Structure 1
Amino acid sequence: MDPDVLVIGGGNAALCAALMAREAGATVLLLEAAPRAWRGGNSAHTRNLRCMHDAPQDVLVEAYPEEEFWQDLLKVTGGLTDEALARLVIRHSSSCRPWMRRHGVHFQPPLSGALHVARTNAFFMGGGKALVNAYFRSAEALGVQVRYETPVERLEIADGRFVAAHLKDGERIAAKTCVLAAGGFESNRDWLREAWGQNERGEWPSDNFLIRGTAFNQGVLLRHLLEDHGAERIGDPTQAHMVAIDARAPLYDGGICTRIDCVSLGVVVNRDGERFYDEGEDFWPKRYAIWGRLVAQQPGQIGYSIIDAKAIGRFMPPVFPGVKADTLPELAHKLGLPVDSFMRTLDSYNAACRVGTFDHTALDDCHTEGLAPAKTHWARPIDTAPFYGYALKPGVTFTYLGLKTGDTAAVRFGGAASPNLFVAGEMMAGNVLGKGYTAGVGMSIGTAFGRIAGANAARAARQQPAQPLATLIATEQGALHAAA
């Protein structure tokens, strides 16, 4: 039988949508392009959810009020965000965890290497893979039908209304409503090349990008909706959650363990041995996501993070050990960097350091003077052997080009909201993230809009109008109270 709600995708947003729709009484079919062993998309690589809270809550310490969350998001996006939708996500993040727990998700206090986000982020017990598995177990127990290795090639849409999905093998699946949660296009190498083009050095920067997550986010339906159906778009195709990761990482699915987290404790140079940005601009969880783009703008799309023995033990070590040397010239030689320019850079940096009270957990007073670019915090001379170097490449997590939406999660065509086609997760994250990133906010967006999309898809299947989040949550809480 044709389902009430068809969910396309298999990550956090898709699963939240499927669960919400099923809880509302709809029949649900979820299509995941990946094999079962690779299910979950980028969500399988996540660790936490950024959460607003006005007082300590179980695994969250102190408080993280709405306005501070908003200001953090405003800073990293440079204002390229829809404030109404951003605040919707922020407010939802304060109340979603009880629902997540009901579907088998467990939380834990942050590990020692992540204490700097203990106040702002709730960590999943077992990480994103455990979250994805819990949601799939709950969905299947509730009667959601799941099909793996089922990529959708195109949609049948009439006057902004979803009619059916057409699979790659030619099968047609009709449904009363549909939720799109199939991710961005970061795994599509041709589209990345098209978006980034050629730089002034004649390089194709995207050829040197690594993909931190799934190989299955090809952007097929995103391009289809934008180009074939004229869906309203949001975002810049070159903007993405892009992180500096170990250059030795695999092309796909390297995940969090390949991220290099010692940047703020040392200096970063390009292949010419020159610094190019302030490594101590702000706390690492607020700035780590700019470094992939910074490295992408350097010659050869490569950089090198340099630290000394004083930094060891103060950051989460990556999966691969760094290149080690007893002297700085030896380190430059091992990394293949020009020794003379490298030493000029390091000598200038060391001489410019004004060391006060070093504290890597606070915005301390250790800074440089008379140096461009400056290092505004955590500036200490790199002078204590052994020395370590990590080669960096841009690691793309997900792209920000997506479908424009509003507080009901409906896809928009020609200024009008679709009555039965909804979007969640990376396919619409650009509404909130015009650029930049702060740790855990992708899961906050996916959870909020996945739940909105699923609930409204179930309503549309009953020919009821879509509702904004506040109304949906109030209805849900009322039902829970009545059941109790």
Structure 2
Amino acid sequence: MSIDVLVIGGGNAALCAALTAREAGASVLMLEAAPREWRGGNSQHTRNLRCMHDTPQDVLVDAYSEEEFWQDLLKVTGGKTNEELARLVIRTTATCRDWMRKHGVRFQPALAGTLHVARTNAFFMGGGKALVNAYYRSAEKLGVQVRYETPVKELVFDGNRFVAAITESGERIEARSAVLAAGGFESNREWLREAWGQNERGEWPAENFLIRGTRFNQGVLLKFMMNQGADMIGDPSQGHCVAIDARAPIYDGGICTRIDCVPLGVVVNRDGERFYDEGEDFWPKRYAIWGLLVAGQPGQIAYSLIDQKVIGRYMPPVFPGITANTLPELAQKIGLPVDTFMQTLNAYNAACHQGTFDHTIQDDCRTEGLTPSKSHWARPIDKPPFYAYALRPGITFTYLSLKTDRSAAVRFEDRPSPNLFVAGEMMAGNVLGKGYTAGVGMSIGTTFGRIAGSGAAAAALNKS
């Protein structure tokens, strides 16, 4: 069998690459490590795409300019981003949805309680699973071949030119070009342990991490490419890491395990002490820093605390909270030192500045004379019943990546491969040096999946 384009991976970026390459006239084979029922990688757990738009567009209200999108990204990454590639992603999101619809993706207006993102993010009808299934249906109709349970362990090169892939079973699959879209190493516990190391308390933080997404992203090809001398970018300890319910499963907990009440209450560690400003910014711009914050606390655990006043003002979690009618009782139930816990809560309650509470804007309810401060939505926690949610770091994907440029070509000693391209998590660190803002992972995967697919088809068909 003669193959033009080999796509290694089975999530959003891989599918975008496969569909684009097939539209360009190339024959395409996709290799997905997961069984069919678990296909789609982390994309099956997504729900929206961050989109620039200068005017209202169907499900998107108002406007979200290129510059505002860029400033949001710049803020969460702390400047650790390639502006050229970031702006390429941003501009592409203004026009990609028509292509997505052509392949069966449907969008819906943001539902009540979806965290202030009706203006910035387009929600998939049926969520990420529906998006993945739509793309697979379209791929099948177009003649893209898909093989499941076919993980790839290494590649064969002639210089920096791709020649073939070797599967875990030892099968050799040759193609004229290839796209790497096999995800990061977030489900590889050993590599996470190595990346995070041992902290000053003698703990190995990664031992307490939960994996929000797929168990199949082991980073095998990422490690192989590193060893082959491919140009790399990013910090292996950085990634999309969210504070999630400590009762979540080890793998595939997805979005429903996230705890979204953090900005409306306080968060304490196992010593009963606060450690960060819970009201720093709107939750979609800050939720992805909390996993790393919790990872830095003793035992990699923390507790989000709220009272009755905020019930109904956030997306409820899948598991009920621990409840109590008094704060000392709540401390006892979650196993925290009561005296320190009460000192923390009393100091916080006393520091709350009386303002006009509004969880839909950055209101003037803040603390005064308290370290760490709470910048917005600060109200005393004083109305029972009280609720506590235990938090653990939930890894979504890692940012150590293959370095690339706007062509999506894999690079060796700063020279682009003529026929090997990369998309999705395997290159996301070019745009995301640290931090995250809701929906941008799908923006990166969609943009570079299509660029990689187009480049691979051109290389295979000698049109480059």
TM range (shorter): over 0.9
Q: Which residue is 1:468 aligned to?
A: none
Contact 2:265–2:278 (8 Å) recurs in 1: yes
Q: Which residue of 1 aligns with 2:441?
A: 442
What is residue 255 of structure 1 aligned with on the other side? 254
Tell me if the contact between 2:115 and 2:283 (Cα under 8 Å) persists in the aligned partners.
no
Q: 2: CA distance between counterparts of 1:169 and 1:117?
A: 44
Amino acid aligned to 1:279: E
Q: CA deviation at 1:460?
A: 0.3
- Secondary structure, counterpart of 1:393 in structure 2: strand
Specify the code of the residue in structure 2 equivalent to 1:335. Answer: I
**1: CA distance, partners of 2:155 / 2:301:** 39
Q: 2 CA distance for matches of 1:276 and 1:167?
A: 46
CA contact (8 A) 1:60 1:121 kept: yes
Alignment match, 2:283: 284
Provide the residue aligned with 2:457 in structure 1.
Answer: 458
| 3-state secondary structure, aligned to 1:122 | strand
Q: Contact (CA 8 Å) 1:305, 1:389: kept in 2 or not?
A: yes
- Residue aligned with 1:10, SS: coil
Paired AA for residue 422 in structure 1: F
Deviation beyond 4 Å, 4+ runs, structure 1: none
Q: Where does residue 44 of structure 1 map in the other structure? A: 44
Is the Cα–Cα contact under 8 Å of residues 402 and 429 in structure 1 kept in the other structure? yes
Q: Distance in 2 between matches of 1:163 and 1:311?
A: 58
SS in 2 for 1:411: strand
Distance in 2, Cα, partners of 1:304 & 1:157: 50
How many pairs were matched up? 464
| 2:115–2:284 contact (8 Å) kept in structure 1 | no
Q: Match of 1:116?
A: 116
Residues 179-219 of structure 1 show CA distances to partners (whole Å, capped at 9, x for unaligned) of 00000000000000010000000000000000000000000
Q: How far apart in 2 are the matches of 1:333 and 1:327? A: 10
Amino acid at match of 1:42: N
Match of 1:211 in 2: 211
Mapped contact 2:291–2:393 kept (Cα < 8 A) = yes
Secondary structure of the corresponding residue to residue 439 of structure 1: coil
Q: 1:463: how far off?
A: 1.8
Range with greater deviation from structure 2 (106-115 or 444-453): 106-115
- For the residue of structure 2 that corresponds to 1:117, the secondary structure is coil
- TM-aligned CA deviation for residue 415 of structure 1: 1.0
Corresponding position of 1:423: 422
455-464 vs 203-212, which moves further: 455-464
1:320 — aligned with what? 319
SS in 2 for 1:97: helix
Distance 2:126 2:341 in 1: 41
Structure 1 position 464, deviation (Å)? 2.4
User: Does structure 1 retain, via aligned residues, the 8 Å contact 2:213–2:251?
Assistant: yes
The one-character-per-residue Cα deviations of 1:224-261 (angstroms, maximum 9, x if unpaired) are: 0011x100001000000000000000000000000000
1:264-413 matches, cutoff 5 A: 264-413=263-412
Distance 2:94 2:358 in 1: 30
Matches of 1:3 and 1:139 in 2, distance apart? 16
Contact 1:366 1:376 in 2 (8 A): yes
Q: Distance in 1 between matches of 2:245 and 2:276?
A: 18
Q: Which residue of 1 aligns with 2:200?
A: 200
State the distance in 1 between where 2:273 and 2:463 align: 60
Q: Name the counterpart of 1:55.
A: 55
Q: Which amino acid aligns with 2:200?
A: E
Q: Which amino acid aligns with 2:88?
A: L
Q: Which residue of 2 aligns with 1:97?
A: 97
Distance 2:330 2:275 in 1: 19
Partner of 1:477: none
Asked if 1:128 corresponds to 2:100, the answer is no
2:236 partner amino acid: P
Which residue identity lines up with residue 433 of structure 1 in the other structure?
A: L
CA deviation vs aligned residue, 1:14-37 (integer Å, no higher than 9, x gap): 000000000000000000000000
The code of the aligned residue for 1:99 comes to: W
Q: Distance in 2 between matches of 1:443 and 1:160?
A: 29
Q: Is the 8 A contact 1:2 1:173 kept in 2?
A: no
Name the structure 2 match of 1:12: 12
TM-score by length of 1: 0.96
Question: How far does residue 169 in structure 1 lie from its aligned partner after superposition?
Answer: 0.5
State the alpha-carbon separation in 1 of the partners of residues 78 and 51 from structure 2: 21
Q: Does 1:69 align with 2:61?
A: no
CA drift at 1:2: 2.5
The CA distance in 1 between the partners of 2:421 and 2:370, in whole Å, is 50
Aligned partners of 2:115 and 2:314 also within 8 Å: no
Q: Distance in 2 between matches of 1:273 and 1:382?
A: 15
| Cα distance change on mapping 1:395 and 1:115 into 2, 3 Å | closer
- Show CA shifts across 1:400-458 (max 9, x none): 00100000000000110000000000000000000000000000000000000001100
1:109 maps to amino acid: P
Rounded Cα–Cα distance in structure 1 between residues aligned with 2:28 and 2:300: 44
1:115 shift after superposition = 5.2
The amino acid of 2:458's aligned partner reads R
| 1:420 alignment partner, SS class | strand
Please state how far the C-alpha of 1:158 moved relative to its aligned partner: 1.6
- The Cα shift of 1:355 comes to 2.1
Q: Distance in 1 between matches of 2:148 and 2:197?
A: 34
Distance, in Å, in 2 between the alignment partners of 1:360 and 1:316 is: 12
SS in 2 for 1:349: helix
Q: Distance in 2 between matches of 1:311 and 1:185?
A: 37
CA–CA separation in structure 2 for the residues paired with 1:67 and 1:209: 35
Amino acid at match of 1:156: V
Please state whether the residue corresponding to 1:18 is helix, strand or coil.
helix
Q: Decide whether the 8 Å contact of 2:242 with 2:393 is kept in 1.
A: yes
Distance 1:419 1:377 in 2: 51
Residues of 2 paired with 1:464 and 1:303: CA distance? 55
> Please, what is the CA RMSD of the aligned residues?
0.5
Q: Which amino acid aligns with 1:264?
A: P
What amino acid sits opposite 1:280 in the alignment? Answer: G
Is residue 33–residue 151 contact of structure 2 (8 Å, CA) maintained in 1? yes
Matched residue of 1:112: which SS?
coil
The equivalent residue for 1:176 is 176
Letter in 2 for 1:348: A
Q: Which runs of 5+ in 2 are unaligned?
A: none
